[in-house]
Amino acid sequence: MAAALCACSLYAQKVTFAPQWTPQAQFAGFYVACEKGFFAEEGLDVEIKHPGINSSVSSMDMLKSGSVQIAGFQLIQGIIARADGARILNVFQTTQESGLCCVSRKPISSPVEMDGLKIGRWKVGFSDFCEMLETYNNIHIDWVPFLNGIGMYVYGAVDATLCYSYSELIALELAIGKIPEDQILFFSDFGYECPEDGLYVMEDYYNSHKDVIDKFIKASKRGWVYARTHRDETLDITWKYIKAANINTNRETQRRMLDAYIALQQNKISGRIDFAPVKPKVFKSIVKALEDVGYITEEVEYNDIIR
Amino acid sequence: MKRIHSFSTRLSLGIVGISSIIFILAIGTAMVLSYTIVAEEAVKSAENLRDASIAKIEKTLLEVEMNVQARAWLVKENLDDEQYLYHITHQIVEENPNIIGSAIAFDKKVFKGKYYFSPYSYQDGEGGILSKQLGSAQYDYFYMDWFQIPFLMGKDCWSEPYFDEGGAQELLSTYSYPIYGENGEVIAVMTADISLDWIEKLLADIKPYPNSNIILVSRSGAFISNSSGIDLSGETVFSTMYYASGADNNVLLLAEALSRGETGAMEYSVGNKVSFAVYAPLSNGWKTYISCDYKDVLSRAARMNIFMILIGLLGVITMFLLSYYMIRRLTKPLSEFSDSVIRIAKGDFDAQLPEIRSEDELKQLRNSFEYMQKSLKDYIRELQVTTSEKQKFISEINIASKIQMSMLPTDFLNTDRVGLYAMVLPAKEVGGDLYDFFIKDNILYFAVGDVSGKGIPASLIMAITRASFRFITRMGLPMNEVMSKMNDALAEGNTTGLFVTLFVGRLDLETGELQYCNGGHNPIVTVTPEGEASFMKPKPNIAAGLFEGFPYVLETCTLRKGSKLVLYTDGVTEAERADKDQFGEQRLLDWATSAVKVCPEAEEACKNLYDTVKQYTDGNEQNDDITIMTIRYN
């Protein structure tokens, strides 16, 4: 488990934050907030604890266990966890759009064509989406959960694999070359409108440390705005975290990831980057979908989780 | 100052110029050929090296694979003996020093009550081998590539390279071999972890060129080994492309060909650096390529070519010096000839000609020069003799001329009664014209003659004529008798055919009676006291010296006081201008009419006529003796 400490003072409020994965440009805004002293300026002493690369302990597990106060994960994960009784709250929506896609070994034009295929997916956190996909399209997919990366696709162990446009897709293209566009299926093109990354806290912590959370979010926003306008410097900062955690990646991957991730922060329709909370309508449709596939039994209200 | 290049310099430069062009063409062709051959050989050599390295790597990998595969049956046979399963992994690590760890990772369904079971043995880094159970919630191997991929695919594979987290940051790869159960399902994956550091050492030793890079990449394009010395951990073949500024499209094609596991060779350039790469896959899906900078490849050929160019330059310089020396040696006699000719031209006819030992054109030239020198010498000698003789002759002629002139009286008359002036201007050194006069007993005797021909013979006749006139006239004979005697004297024994036109006269100064005889001479001009000029019409007599005994006729007339006479030879009337127009008798008559008035004295009149004639001929060469005599009678 990798951890990084921001500059702090004796009087600073200590906060521990777990991004949802190992160091990469997906979390660049938080690194920038750390390195440029935005957290410190808010009187926060932030420690960033990344989940281990070979570990099954997710950032949500870390949040639930109390080893971190703030954790990053996806909205669906948050809704399911809340439905399962975890008293977690979404306090900040990092992205506005979904970068989820399926990269196939053969041309693919719609989710229906995924029927019967052996498709890789992350072991942590995406079974919900996968079931929604199968249910809504009335198909059966032979899912192959994996912990890490693109290996199974490259070796030919799967017919297709789920990717994030800002992460695995980039890694794949830098590993085996450009993937033809007709082999990539973006789910957002088929009505899957689910914003992904957000920041979550436990309800108790929220109630007792709202000021700390607000400061954390304020500094994080600054970090992301800075990252958007200072890409090279942001990449350098991110690279420091990557090297410290000894992550096997390269700068080109991270450069592309930063660009792709920042693109997801922009609202497709409004074109704005305002880190707005997920819209109630979108939230409701996701909850309904999760109910439909039986992933949640308890209804989750927008106000229960979104702050 | 204008620089004069010698013949030898120009010829040498010409030879060197042509040789240089041939040399440049030859060197250029040789360079292109040598570069092409060297480049082709380099590609072949690199391909051989590539294949050799692949063979070496695969041999080591195969040993590892065999080590694992050979024990697969033991696993199936001993599923109930956990300790033995540990022992198997221990054996694998123990047997092959390249293997730093080995596991048998069982599927979760194999052992009831045991979700994770994976006996694992590994080198402890201090020479010992330790064992442990690998799987746990923290190390969920079921979802790791080294387990999952062979498990799903049912065939063995080598994992992507990874860093040993617990160890000394060694780059490792895991060989995974699936073990099938009774029902044909995969029940376990047997592994062997090896450090990949040896590959780097192995490849470093077989670098074909100093700047060559031998690279081994995984299926995902990750660098397992590269000999460039640059840390490429985390990079892929495709990612590094974006750091190479100025890379051409072939870099991408190369990466793609490599990614597809193709075998081949390709040329590419990054900036100004042009390289080629040979590439091929290994049987486990890894790929290797060797890149060679053409600068390195061709450096030997370039060195050879520089050496060739230097040799060539040396050759050209030597050729220039040798040809210059040889041509100079061959043409040296020419400049010596030149010196000799100048000396000859300056009059040194004994100037030494250069010695020519060769029997060639130069020898011929020397012979010609020698002949010319001898001919010139002889000619000049003859010329010297001739000139000397001519000088002597001229000198004698001059003396003769003086003698001749001294024969003619110069004590001209200028009294109240009579005035007489005469002049002879020979066309050559000595002439054939003559005049004479003298007074005896108040009688003026005078004569003007013109000997046919010119030069010495005419002058001799003239001398005889003048002497015979004086002698015969003194006898007191009538003038026709005088003429006859002179004719006889001249005609006697005259074998030369020379004759004299002669006018002889006898003027009685007292009475004005003029007795005269004209022997074939030009009619004389008389000017009356009134100034009327006219030609006398004498009786026709022939010139003296032609026929002995010819009967000359005497004529007489009386001059009135104030009359003038103008006697002359045909040199006056036949004096020519350049356009061959002669002075003529009419001009003479015109002159006499006008000039006698302005020139009352004989001398004035005589000189005035001469000037008039000279003026008329306008510098044209005089081709006949001119004699003028003017007489005034009062």
DSSP-H helix ranges across B112-195:
145-153
Tokens of A70: 């703030």
* B81-92 mean pLDDT: 94
- Cα B170 to the center of its chain, rounded Å: 74
Is the pLDDT reported for residue A217 higher than 90?
yes
Cα atoms in the Cβ-side hemisphere of radius 13 Å centred on B585: 10
Residue B423 DSSP symbol: E
Task: Identify which of A152, A156, A246 has the shortest CB distance to residue B145.
Answer: A152
Is residue A257 within 8 Å of residue A167, measured between CB atoms?
A: yes
Residue count of chain A, please give it. Answer: 307
Is the pLDDT reported for residue A3 higher than 60?
no
* B565-588 mean pLDDT: 91
Is the pLDDT reported for residue B429 higher than 80?
no
- Cα B456 to the center of its chain, rounded Å: 64
* Contact list, A159 vs chain B (CB under 8 Å): none
- Tell me what pLDDT residue B282 has: 96
Q: What is the pTM of this model?
A: 0.65
pLDDT in tens, A222-278: 999 999 999 999 999 999 999 998 887 889 999 999 999 999 998 777 778 888 899
The residues that bridge with B267 in the sheet, in sequence order, are B276
Is residue A199 within 8 Å of residue A70, measured between CB atoms?
A: yes
Is the pLDDT reported for residue A12 higher than 90?
no
Rounded to whole angstroms, the Cα distance separating B12 from B6 reads 10
Tokens of A26: 């997906």
Q: Number of helices (H) and strands (E), helices first, in chain B?
A: 15, 23
pLDDT in tens, A166-191: 999 999 999 999 999 999 999 988 88
Rounded to whole angstroms, the Cα distance separating A156 from A177 reads 15
Do B238 and A177 make contact, defined as CB atoms within 8 angstroms?
A: yes
* Contact list, A155 vs chain B (CB under 8 Å): 145, 149, 153, 157, 219, 285
A244 touches chain B (CB under 8 A): no
Contacts of B288 (CB under 8 A, 6+ apart): B50, B53, B54, B57, B214, B215, B216, B217, B279, B280, B281, B282
The residues that bridge with B519 in the sheet, in sequence order, are B502
- Residue B70 burial (CB count, 10 A): 12
Q: How far is A64 from chain B (nearest CA, A)?
A: 17
3-state secondary structure of A158: coil
Tokens of B185: 């399902």
- In whole numbers, what is the pLDDT of chain A averaged over residues? 90
Task: Identify which of A54, A155, A250 has the shortest CB distance to residue B144.
Answer: A54
pLDDT in tens, B95-136: 998 899 999 999 998 988 889 999 999 998 888 999 999 888
| A16 membership: H or E segment, kind and range | strand A13-18
CA distances from B232 to A233, B161, B252 (A): 21, 12, 18
- Residue A155 burial (CB count, 10 A): 22
Rounded to whole angstroms, the Cα distance separating A117 from A119 reads 6
Give the residue from chain A lying closest to B163, CA to CA.
A248
Rounded to whole angstroms, the Cα distance separating A290 from A299 reads 10
Rounded to whole angstroms, the Cα distance separating B281 from B260 reads 9
Tokens of B69: 């595969």
* B161-185 mean pLDDT: 84
pLDDT in tens, B471-525: 898 888 899 999 999 999 888 877 778 899 999 999 999 999 999 999 999 999 9
B144 touches chain A (CB under 8 A): yes
pLDDT in tens, A89-137: 999 999 988 889 999 999 999 999 999 999 999 886 666 777 788 888 8
> What is the pairing mode between strands B119-123 and B129-133?
antiparallel
Do A248 and B255 make contact, defined as CB atoms within 8 angstroms?
A: no
The sheet carrying B433-440 orders its strands as B433-440, B443-451, B500-508, B513-519, B555-558
* Contact list, B144 vs chain A (CB under 8 Å): 54, 147-148
| B507 membership: H or E segment, kind and range | strand B500-508
Handedness of CA A265, A271, A277, A281 (dihedral sign): negative
Do B143 and A123 make contact, defined as CB atoms within 8 angstroms?
A: yes
Rounded to whole angstroms, the Cα distance separating B244 from B237 reads 11
The sheet carrying B525-527 orders its strands as B413-414, B418-425, B626-633, B564-568, B525-527, B533-535
The residues that bridge with B122 in the sheet, in sequence order, are B101, B130
- Tell me what pLDDT residue B279 has: 96
Which DSSP string do the residues of B243-288 spell out, in sequence order?
TSTTB-HHHHHHHHHHHTT--EEEEEEETTEEEEEEEEE-TTS-EE
Cα atoms in the Cβ-side hemisphere of radius 13 Å centred on A170: 23
DSSP-H helix ranges across B543-583:
570-573
- Tell me what pLDDT residue A54 has: 62
Is residue A53 within 8 Å of residue B234, measured between CB atoms?
A: no
